[in-house]
Amino acid sequence: MKIFKNKRKLQREIIKIKNISFVPTMGSIHKGHEKLINIAKRRFKKVLVSIYVNPKQFNSRDDFRSYPRNIKKDINALKRLKVDYLYIPNYSDVFFFKPKKQIYLHSFSKKLCGKLRKGHFKGVINVINRFLEIIKPKYMLLGKKDFQQLYLIKKHIEKNKIPTIVIPCKTVRNKNGTALSSRNNNLKKDELIKLAKIIKKIKKSKKSINKSKILKILNEMSVKKVDYVEFLNLNSLKTPVNTKTKFNIFVAFYIGKTRLIDNF
């Protein structure tokens, strides 16, 4: 695995690779990331992974500082997975240039996480837009756990006619049903058990489109702060009128100081 911290050196290395695939991460590599990487390895020739904790998508300095980081562990994990290229840029390497494409934020950015995390998705699209210009990947693999982020990135790419194909990948879950997430590293053992119980109870309630029922579950499980509970049709992005249409429950809540999101 070749490691790059400078975009120009990276570009000289990959300029002749036509079908490079890209897996953007903020580190704390887990089995969800591994799944994306293994799909990329199986379907495409060369795989490039980035590790960059993007300050522009955090709404507080404390959240940015507390985001789990373990670069040595990440490098070892990626070497084990036989990733071809790893890009670990610093702030200036990513942001000290003017990108050719303008940021496009679809109206969906104002819902769910966008309601409470002002500027979050602008920060996400900003950094992805820059990575796409630096790397020019043929494919980019993203997880469906962050459905809103995935949707907005796709809309930005479509609007700007960027020649990168987004490959959506299923959410990877533990045996207890919890979605794999880097933020899970901030949870204590008893909090992880609590999270598993919450997800199990919410899943059981999916048969009825009843927000108050889920809020009651969260209250009974001593969840002190809930950002949202929403039911959305994945195609129309509207609240389903009945259970016959395909929809997901979207939730965002806190366990302790850790904010967790999921959809299923």
* Structure-block tokens of residue 127: 């950094």
Q: Which of 30, 33, 106, 156 is catalytic?
A: 33
CA distance 157 to 150: 11
- Residue 203 DSSP one-character state: H
| CA–CA distance, 231 with 209 (Å, rounded to integer) | 7
> Among residues 105, 181, 200, which one has the least CA distance to residue 143?
181
How many residues in total does the chain contain? Answer: 264
C-alpha to C-alpha distance for 26 and 216, rounded to whole angstroms: 33
- Chain-centroid distance of CA 236 in Å reads 21
- The DSSP bridge partners found for residue 230 are 250
- To the query of whether residue 156 is one of the catalytic residues in this protein, the response is no
Residue 47, SS3 per DSSP: strand
Which positions are annotated as active-site residues? 33
